[in-house]
Amino acid sequence: MKTKFLFLLLLLFISSYGFSQSVNDYVAVIVPVKYDFVKQENQYRLNTLTKFNLHKAGFQAFYTNEAIPKEYSDRCSLLNVDVLKENGFLITKLYVILKDCNGKVIFKSEVGKSKEKDYEVAYAEALNAAFTSVYALHYKYNGKAVVANQNASVVSPAIVSVVSMAVPVPTAAVAVNVPSSSAEPDGSVLFAQPIKNGFQLVDSTPKVVMKAYKTTNPAIYLASKGDIQGTLVLKDNQWYFEYYEKDTLMSEKIKVKF
């Protein structure tokens, strides 16, 4: 009888540990370069968009194929993100899950939906909608070290499902204007060359400086400049490359000739 009581007490302790874990216990997120429901790496720029949204939600994020800084070398202090697709007739449905190093689900988002027919537009719209509940977590790393016992019995933790709510505006996100010279060292105009689903912006060398991909709004492009992911936005007939640097929203004025 005593042995049975001790076993139940131990099981309760392990279970409470599993349920107490939250995304704030993890220092960064690992992003795969391909999801199971698509055929190619970063198809429809889903993985790029995932990393961009994670950064925007406050997470540090790294692709599985990129070098990770030494301070993030403990894999069990990292989460792994995955995007899954639900079946839907004429509707694209995606949701985001965050798992620990043992594969246990720490967080599951609400399902993001899109009725768009174009795959690239539909996937982007559905994924952005799914990230609404990720933003609602208000993630902030608490410095807590996650100790994982690889040999311990795996007890499924609670799957956090957040109801749909408006995307919060980070109070610390203040737009900082960066001189256009940071994007164009010689101050020259960038020329837009058509590529699949968007443009590549080249200087007079010609060297590819940025890539911009179409969205449903012709005044907004998903954009990348080197390793920096952001958006190219038209404001008052002028283009701006906007991205997050830690908690600060940066805005670079870009001269573009389409």
Q: What integer pLDDT is reported at residue 162 of this predicted model?
A: 36
Q: What integer pLDDT is reported at residue 59 of this predicted model?
A: 93
Q: What integer pLDDT is reported at residue 83 of this predicted model?
A: 97
Q: What integer pLDDT is reported at residue 171 of this predicted model?
A: 41
Q: Is 191 exposed, middle or buried (0-12, 13-18, 19+ CB in 10 A)?
A: middle
Q: Is 6 exposed, middle or buried (0-12, 13-18, 19+ CB in 10 A)?
A: exposed
- Taken in order of first residue, the domains within the chain and their CATH numbers are 15-161 (3.30.160), 176-257 (no CATH)
C-beta separation of 102 from 154 below 8 A: yes
Q: What integer pLDDT is reported at residue 70 of this predicted model?
A: 86
Q: What integer pLDDT is reported at residue 218 of this predicted model?
A: 82
Single out the residue of 143, 172, 190, 141 nearest to residue 244, CA to CA: 172
Q: What integer pLDDT is reported at residue 105 of this predicted model?
A: 95
Q: What integer pLDDT is reported at residue 120 of this predicted model?
A: 85
pLDDT averaged over 10-residue windows placed end to end, the chain, 258 residues: 49 41 91 94 90 91 88 90 92 95 94 91 92 93 62 36 38 52 56 86 86 87 90 88 87 88
**Residue matched to tokens 């311990």:** 152
Q: What integer pLDDT is reported at residue 1 of this predicted model?
A: 52
Q: What integer pLDDT is reported at residue 67 of this predicted model?
A: 84
C-beta separation of 14 from 155 below 8 A: yes
